[in-house]
Amino acid sequence: MLRAIFFDFNGVIVDDEKLHCLLFQKVLKEKNLSLSEKDYYEKYLGFDDRGAFTAALKDFKFEPAPKIIDEMISKKAKLYAQEMKKQDLFVPGALDFIRKASEKYYLSVVSGALRGEIEAWLDRGGVRKLFQTVIAAEDTQKGKPDPEGYLRALDSLNRDFVPNSEMILPQECWALEDSKWGIDAAQGAGMRCAALTTSYSKKELAFADGVYGSFGEIFLESIAKDYS
């Protein structure tokens, strides 16, 4: 029985992966480090900001000192906040899908994005109250593809929202991602995971439990039947 739905954030609820790439490049450029969009999508998109900057600096043979990483994360967050005020980046159909899903299922966000960014967009879309839990970059020690974020979200649902006698099992959950790192994380937590092609091609995401070109192709009734 399907009981909970877990959403990645970037590329699933908000289509801001290109913006993150641009800002990531901009912050690195201040260190005289040049990164191509191709390399960003191939190597770093699945990481949270700390993981992405750390990995990139190592690849550039640049010492990833914690203080430097913190400064880069802070700079990127400020730039993102400025850009967010100018743009409407919700994935078409995402907000309606969330509203419909909330009528029957527990909902959670599991993301490597900063909590402030997630909360701001969910508030802006009027759907924050529909999510029982939000797991952000600050809530985990290991980012995707590690399953920690999904396991923490499930633990939070069971601890704070579900009666002890009705605990949700991983096999009763469905996740929606847009990257190979996210799919690995959800499946590693024992959940089925589908993918949206907002960031990668259908071929690249073929190992997911379903691949969709848009929210218009996703029918909750059909997904629920697979769990019965």
Confidence of residue 228 (pLDDT cuts 50, 70, 90): confident
Give domain limits for the chain: 4-15+89-225, 17-84
Q: What pLDDT was estimated at residue 153?
A: 98
Question: 17-84: which CATH number, 3.90.660, 3.30.1740, 1.10.150, 2.115.10?
Answer: 1.10.150
Query: Count of H helices and E strands in the chain?
Result: 9, 6
Average pLDDT of every residue of the chain = 96
- For the chain, what is the radius of gyration of the CA atoms? 17
CA 175 – CA 195 distance, rounded (Å): 8
Q: Which residues contact 202 (CB under 8 A, 6 or more apart)?
A: 211, 213
Between the CA atoms of 6, 10, 12 and 18, what dihedral angle is there, to the nearest 10 degrees?
Answer: -170
The 10s digit of each residue's pLDDT in 82-97 is: 999 899 999 999 999 9
Asked if 198 and 15 count as a contact pair (C-beta separation under 8 A), the reply is: yes
User: If we measure between CA atoms, which residue out of 46, 54, 47 comes closest to residue 28?
Assistant: 54
Q: Is the predicted pLDDT of residue 14 greater than 90, yes or no?
A: yes
Q: What pLDDT was estimated at residue 133?
A: 98
CA 170 – CA 52 distance, rounded (Å): 28
Average pLDDT over residues 17-36: 95
Q: What pLDDT was estimated at residue 94?
A: 98
The model carries a pTM of 0.90
Q: What pLDDT was estimated at residue 72?
A: 97
Please state whether beta strands 133-135 and 211-212 pair in parallel, antiparallel, or not at all (unpaired).
Answer: unpaired
Average pLDDT over residues 108-121: 95
Q: What pLDDT was estimated at residue 64?
A: 87
Average pLDDT over residues 25-32: 95
The 10s digit of each residue's pLDDT in 148-196 is: 999 999 999 999 999 988 999 999 999 999 999 999 999 999 999 999 9
The 10s digit of each residue's pLDDT in 208-218 is: 999 999 999 99
First to last CA, the chain: 5
The 10s digit of each residue's pLDDT in 48-67 is: 999 999 999 999 999 889 99
Question: 4-15+89-225: which CATH number, 2.60.40.1180, 3.40.50.1820, 3.40.50.1000, 3.30.70.260?
Answer: 3.40.50.1000
